[in-house]
Structure 1
Amino acid sequence: MEVIILPSSKEIGALAADAIEALVRNKPNAVLGLATGSSPLPIYDELARRHDQDGLSFEEVSGFALDEYVGLPVGHYESYREVIRREFTNRVDVGAANVHGPDGSAEDIQGACESYEAAIKAAGGIDLQILGVGTNGHIGFNEPGSSLASRTRIKTLAEQTRQDNARFFDNVRQVPHHVVTQGLGTIMDARHVVLVAFGAGKADAVRDFVEGPVSASCPASVLQFHPRATIVIDEAAAAKLGGAPAYRHAFENKPAWQGL
């Protein structure tokens, strides 16, 4: 696990975008894992800027969303399929047919989850998975207690997560209780994971999953087992990391050719 501490969300977005640009230029048909929430927005803003100003093309790229609410009508403004379109894919040249998401409105949820796993496998697996982290340590919507080997499935949201996500709705009562999410095992299959976090509200979660024990009580801690997990955070999110000086030293002295 590589931990990189940067001054601002803008620099975090730029560094993560560097990794995605390098991947896409080297492999034009790359498969991206797309996260929602506020954390990935600086990444999407920077990628859209590079598309507009530098000609970075996503025409052959495929994308798979991490999760989706269950029970929201198709086309709902806060459905994650719509959020990803609005914040990223509609701002670049990726084909609409190349962007996939779990089906939270399916009559057969279990069958839809199995189909989603099969679609990721058929695409060759995810090359780079973008992640945020919840205040309780969840990634995707794998809440505390999730199996570290879990696959795409339906989950019940923790009340803290519903409270955290209420800012996207008129009130917490509108936040669904259930979601379909890629499992921790699914996330771990990605060849490269880039998790971004900023703000003091994430400091406890960052400390727990980076330096605490690997445990289902902190789902993001499973990333300690990933062969290529890059954690990019700001100073506020890094405030409770005991190893912060060592992480800064390692990044400052990292060979330029190594990339992320």
Structure 2
Amino acid sequence: MKILFAKDYDEMSRKAANIIASQITMKHNSVLGLATGSSPIGTYKELIKKYEQGDLCFDGCYTANLDEYRGLTKDNDQSYAYFMYNNLFKYVNINMDKTNIPDGSNPDAEAECKRYDKVVEDLGGVDIQLLGIGHDGHIGFNEPDDSFPVGTHCVKLTDMTIEANKRFFARKEDVPTEAYTMGIGTIMKAKKILMVASGKDKAEILYKTACGEVKPDVPASILRLHADVTIVADEAALSMIIEKAPELVIGLPKK
């Protein structure tokens, strides 16, 4: 696990985008595992900038998103399909037929989860998986549990996750209580994993992820067992690691 220092959110976003851009440049038909939420928005803006400058081409890429709210259609402005289109896809030359997101409108959870696992399998797996991290350590919507789920599954969202996501909805009551999410096993099969984290509120969980025990009640801790993981985080998010294990942080400015 490599942990890269960034001074702030903007620098974090630039460094993360550079890693993804390098992957696309080296393999034009890369399968990009994509994430939603506030953490990767800056990364997507940087990728769009690279495309507009003529430095990046997405026409060969495939995508597989981590998750989607169960019960929301693709045109719902709070769906992750809507998020991806309006934060990345419509601004670059990606072929929309090559983009993949769980279908939140499918009421048959078992069928949808099997379908999405087959989609990822048929793509040959993910070349680089972008992740954020929840305050409780969830990656995708894999919440703390007593085991690490393997494949795509339907998960009941925790109160902490609902509370964190309510800012995107008119009312807390409007936040979906379930989601379809790629499993930990699928995430761990990605050839490369890239996590972005920003803000003081992520400092404790990032420390537990990088330095604590590997256990399913901190889902992100499993990443320590992957062969190629890079965490790019800003100074605030890294503050606890910097305090307790500064030797783990690459690019830490000298005092």
Contact 1:102 1:180 in 2 (8 A): yes
2:3 is matched with 3
Q: Once the two structures are superposed, what CA deviation does each residue of 1:178-215 show, in whole Å capped at 9, x if it has no partner? A: 00000111110100000000001111110111111001
1:245 is matched with 246
Distance across 1 between alignment mates of 2:76 and 2:65: 16
1:232 is matched with 232
Shift of 1:222: 0.5
Q: Once the two structures are superposed, what CA deviation does each residue of 1:120-139 show, in whole Å capped at 9, x if it has no partner? A: 11111100000000001100
1:256 is matched with none
Q: Once the two structures are superposed, what CA deviation does each residue of 1:198-244 show, in whole Å capped at 9, x if it has no partner? A: 00111111011111100111000000101001011111111111554
User: What is the 5 A alignment of 1:103-142?
Assistant: 103-142=103-142
Tell me: CA distance 1:34–1:117, structure 2 relative to 1, closer, same or farther (3 Å): same
**2:184 is aligned with what amino acid?**
L
2:54 is matched with 54
Deviates more, 1:7-16 or 1:41-50: 7-16
User: What is the 5 A alignment of 1:209-220?
Assistant: 209-220=209-220
Shift of 1:251: 4.0
Q: What secondary structure is seen at the aligned counterpart in 2 of 1:54?
A: coil
Which runs of structure 1 show a deviation greater than 3 angstroms over 4 or more consecutive aligned residues?
250-253
Q: Once the two structures are superposed, what CA deviation does each residue of 1:83-131 show, in whole Å capped at 9, x if it has no partner? A: 0111011111001101100112113221111111111111111000000
User: What is the 5 A alignment of 1:33-44?
Assistant: 33-44=33-44
**1:175 is aligned with what amino acid?**
V
**2:195 is aligned with what amino acid?**
L
Gaps of 5+ in 1: 254-260
Tell me: CA distance 1:54–1:243, structure 2 relative to 1, closer, same or farther (3 Å): farther
Q: What secondary structure is seen at the aligned counterpart in 2 of 1:240?
A: helix
**1:194 is aligned with what amino acid?**
L
Distance across 2 between alignment mates of 1:20 and 1:177: 31
1:258 is matched with none
1:14 is matched with 14
Contact 1:146 1:219 in 2 (8 A): no
Contact 2:142 2:149 in 1 (8 A): no
Contact 1:12 1:196 in 2 (8 A): yes
Q: What secondary structure is seen at the aligned counterpart in 2 of 1:73?
A: coil
Q: Work out the number of aligned pairs and report it.
A: 252
Distance across 2 between alignment mates of 1:98 and 1:105: 19
Deviates more, 1:160-169 or 1:100-109: 100-109
State TM-score, norm by structure 1.
0.93
Distance across 2 between alignment mates of 1:97 and 1:226: 30
1:161 is matched with 161
Tell me: CA distance 1:252–1:162, structure 2 relative to 1, closer, same or farther (3 Å): closer
Over the matched positions of the two proteins, sequence identity in percent amounts to 37
Gaps of 5+ in 2: none
**1:197 is aligned with what amino acid?**
A
State TM-score, norm by structure 2.
0.95
Distance across 2 between alignment mates of 1:219 and 1:107: 26
Shift of 1:167: 0.9
1:93 aligns with 2:82: no
Contact 1:223 1:229 in 2 (8 A): yes
Q: What secondary structure is seen at the aligned counterpart in 1 of 2:240?
A: coil
1:186 is matched with 186
Shift of 1:76: 0.2
Distance across 1 between alignment mates of 2:184 and 2:169: 27
Q: What secondary structure is seen at the aligned counterpart in 2 of 1:203?
A: helix
2:200 is matched with 200
